[in-house]
Copies of this chain bind each other. A is one copy, B any other.
Amino acid sequence: MGNALVDVIAHVDEGFLEAHDMVKGWMQLIDTERAVSLYQAVGSAVEMSGGSAANTVVGVASFGGRGAYIGKVSDDELGEVFAHDLLAVGVQFHAGDRNNPEPTGRCLICVTPDAERTMNTYLGASSLLSTRDVDLAAVAAAKVLYMEGYLFDRDDAKSAFRAAAEVAHEAGRMVSLTLSDSFCVERHREDFQALVADQVDLLFGNEAELIALYQTETLDEAIAEARRHSPLVACTVGARGSLVVTPEEVLTSPPVPVRRVVDTTGAGDLYAAGFLYGLTSGRPLAECAQLGAIAAAEVISHVGPRPLVELRTLVG
């Protein structure tokens, strides 16, 4: 479950971020007016389907796994593009009613020369996701329910996730959450803490997000806190790889080397894809983390948030 967005990817220089009050590496929600003015300000752009959880489920499919996606698009050209790119890789798409008062959401991603991406999200139709849009049968049928923290910016979606998590647990399934963004965590810290404690079996996040969640000084302290609340935590630590935390142990997993990092968009999403594919196909945790590293390495070596090769072909 996530915000269904089409990415609009443009290359900018550092000065552009400054001139438009963007904080590098973070995501800002923007309204229609700012969406229009920022789009006018950037140079040539490329459009491709994105959305954090959607990138993840496409990654799972690319490994050979099965997935379904719940998120809102409208009956317009970008909505068509978004749907096509899920169906094309065999992901089921539950979009609910596409007659929405707002167009399909989009995310203007500004890529700087250091390959960092700074995101400006106009939620559009994706912001209309509510409990009645959730196909509960699809949730109950899935081994893992996976949701992006970005949904927490809207109360309706928050309720939808609570409802979906209940259905998943009743069906004996696993519930997982990615924290998505440290700003988003700051905005909704208490709700995130409560959700993790009550309903999350598997928590994804990076260093900054876990520290933001528990307001600690160090990652070690944040991890100590997280493992008290969630039985399984997968924490990416940038170029150092990832940590997998259970009540018993902390596994460190190395990254997969990349010749040149071109665009970090989708790195966390694809790490989650590899991890979830590993988990749902019964692999040990160390292998899950390794699959995550393989998928993340592929996606940061080119422009765009989704793999350009079948990830199954990268698994030895």
Contact = CB atoms under 8 A, between A and B. Distances in A.
Interface string A77-94: 110010011011100000
Contact of A44 (B39, B76, B88, B103): B88
A43 B77 contact: no
Contact of A48 (B47, B49, B85): B47
* 9 pairs of A and B residues whose beta carbons are closest in the complex: A47-B47, A77-B77, A43-B88, A44-B85, A46-B48, A44-B88, A77-B78, A46-B46, A76-B77
A45 interface: yes
Interface residues of A, number: 25
Contacts of A87: 40
Contacts of A306: 44
The prevalent SS among residues of A at the interface is mixed
Given A45-B85, A46-B304, 20 more contacts: A11-B308, A39-B84, A40-B84, A40-B87, A42-B88, A44-B48, A44-B49, A44-B58, A44-B85, A44-B89, A45-B48, A45-B81, A45-B84, A46-B47, A46-B48, A47-B81, A76-B76, A76-B77, A77-B77, A77-B78
Nearest to A90: B43
A306 B43 CA distance: 12
19 contacts: A11-B308, A40-B84, A42-B88, A43-B88, A43-B89, A44-B48, A44-B49, A44-B85, A44-B88, A44-B89, A45-B48, A45-B84, A45-B85, A45-B88, A46-B46, A46-B48, A77-B77, A77-B78, A77-B103
Each complex incorporates copies of this chain amounting to 2
Interface string A32-60: 00000001101111111100000000100
A42 B84 CA distance: 9
A126 to B, nearest CB: 15
A81 B42 CA distance: 12
Nearest to A41: B88
Nearest to A8: B81
Give the most central of A46, A89, A103: most B CB within 10 Å.
A46
Give the most central of A11, A40, A76, A77: most B CB within 10 Å.
A77
A130 to B, nearest CB: 24
A103 B77 CA distance: 10
A84 B39 CA distance: 8
A13 to B, nearest CB: 12
Give the most central of A40, A88, A103: most B CB within 10 Å.
A88
